[in-house]
């Protein structure tokens, strides 16, 4: 597990930056150009947020992203927190 479990993510439904956290991690196989690679994937929880007066339809969802993207994001924005 990574030591930093929080990050900010841009909701693709409303284009607003929101706080989210890593729920779990898993290893999945990726069929790339050089054969089968094992990629560490992170399940990221997007918390409830509003779009106008109503909840955004991206609220309260769990998405799966490659863990290396999360680590790169946290390293890049470490000084902004």
Domain-wise residue ranges, the chain: 8-70
- Residues 15 and 63: their CA atoms lie apart, in Å, by 16
Per-residue model confidence as pLDDT tens digits over 18-53: 778 888 888 888 777 788 878 888 888 888 888 888
pLDDT greater than 50 at residue 1: no
Q: Do the beta carbons of residue 57 and residue 74 sit within 8 Å?
A: no
pLDDT greater than 80 at residue 8: no
Give which of 2, 15, 9 is closest to 57, Cα–Cα. Answer: 15
Task: Extract the tokens encoding 49.
Answer: 């947020």
């Amino acid at each position: 597990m990574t030591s930093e479990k929080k990050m900010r993510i841009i909701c693709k439904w409303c284009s607003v930056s929101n706080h989210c956290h890593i729920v779990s991690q898993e290893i999945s196989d990726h069929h790339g150009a050089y054969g089968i690679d094992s990629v560490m994937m992170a399940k990221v929880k997007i918390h409830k947020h509003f779009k106008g007066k109503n909840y955004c339809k991206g609220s309260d969802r769990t998405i799966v992203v490659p863990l290396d993207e999360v680590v790169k994001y946290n390293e890049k924005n470490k000084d902004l927190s």
